[in-house]
Structures are given as structure tokens and as C-alpha cells.
Amino acid sequence: MEFEFDIHKIFLEPITKLDSTLLPQRRPLVSSSEAEKQIMKVLDDIGKASAKAQRLPAPITSASRMQTNQHHLYILKDCTPKTAGRGLVIGFLKVGYKKLFVLDRKGSHIEAEPLCILDFYIHESLQRHGFGKELFGFMLRIEQVEPQHLAIDRPSEKFLSFLWKHYNLRAVIPQVNNFVIFEGFFRDRKGKRQLCVQSAEWRKGVV
């Protein structure tokens, strides 16, 4: 996606991580007020593009939503010489921890707080070039999470195919909510926030 301002001056890295402050780790080459204005424009536009691609009634990613939630958003820009001018935004990936009730293979209700994939978009003209894998892999390294430990909010068939192709995730554990989890979700977890194992109704724990 192209913008009327220079992407390279607000996002200095190939992949930039944003949180609720909307401030990149590396300080933009424009004033703080201008950077905030431009970043908000980027977030609103890519959120709309993602919603359109997924045929959602309204965007689930925007600057205001980022400012009011503890989510992380990774933006991938095009660094090739042909975009050395104002640059292009290739896509983004939004993640966040959410408290969920999930079912294990035995049908037990488990209270969990996994890292969730909340929105994922690569511009239509730049798909099938490895950008999605690059962005997703970067997020996994930064968040220090294994792909099978993620919960995905309303994944499209295209996204499910992506996870199967690149991470061999195909054995879905059926859920009663909009989230999808895979075989291995409950195994070998590390970190306090990734899974708070506790049976919601019977206090059985996880087998």
C-alpha cells in the first residue's frame, strides 16, 4: 500500500513493532506529532484493507483500537530499491493475549490466556512472495511463542492453508467460540501468560 508521505521516515526497520503508544522503538525521522499522525493514517488504512479482504462489516484494526488495547502490531514495509522513494506497506500482523475458555480433546473446558492472532493481512498484489512467512516468523521470534500455542481469531481458509503449509498445523481441536486452536496447544508451554490451565467448571486441569 502506498501513502502520500515517506514510509521510510516513520518505520526505520523492515518490520516495525507497535503497541498502544503507537511509537516505534527506533525514533522516526519526522516530528513526534507528524509521526503519530502518519502512523494513525497507516493503521486506519491497512485495517480497512484487511476488513475488505476478509469481507468483514467493519475494520477490527485501527489506530484507536490499538491505543485502547494491549495488542502488538507488526508492520512489514518493502525495502527493495524500486520503493526507495516513499516506500510501501506490504502488510501487518496483530496479536494480543486474551482470556478464553477452550475445549481440549476430551471436551473439558479450560481457562486459558494464550497469545492470539487477531488480524493478518498482506496486500493482494504482494501475496505468494514469502512476505507472510517473513512477517509471521518475525512475530514468533519476538513474542517467543511456538505456532501450535497460538489461538487464531476467525481464520480464513487461506490463512489455515498458510499454517498447514509452513507450520504443519492441520489437526484442529473443535471449539464453540470463534477461535481456532491446533493439536499441541496444551503441550510444552513456557511462560506464565501463555496458558493459565484450570478447568472452568470442574477444576480438572489439563490431561
* Bind-site residues for acetyl-CoA: 120-133, 156-165
Q: Are strands 115-122 and 151-153 parallel, antiparallel or unpaired?
A: parallel
Contacts of range 54-61, beta carbons closer than 8 Å, 24 or more positions apart: 54/121, 54/154, 54/156, 60/118, 60/119, 61/92, 61/94, 61/118, 61/119
Mark 45-81 as b/e (b = at least 16 C-beta within 10 Å).
Answer: bbbebbbeebeeeebbbbbebbeeeebbbbbbbbeee
Q: Which residues are annotated as a binding site?
A: 120-133, 156-165
Helix H or strand E encompassing 52: helix 32-54
- C-alpha distances out from residue 91 to 1, 98, 175, 185, 190, Å: 8, 23, 28, 26, 29
Question: Which residue, among 54, 177, 202, has the nearest Cα to 114 in the 3D structure?
Answer: 177
Cα–Cα distances in angstroms (integers) from residue 141 to residues 73, 136, 138, 147, in the given order: 14, 9, 5, 10
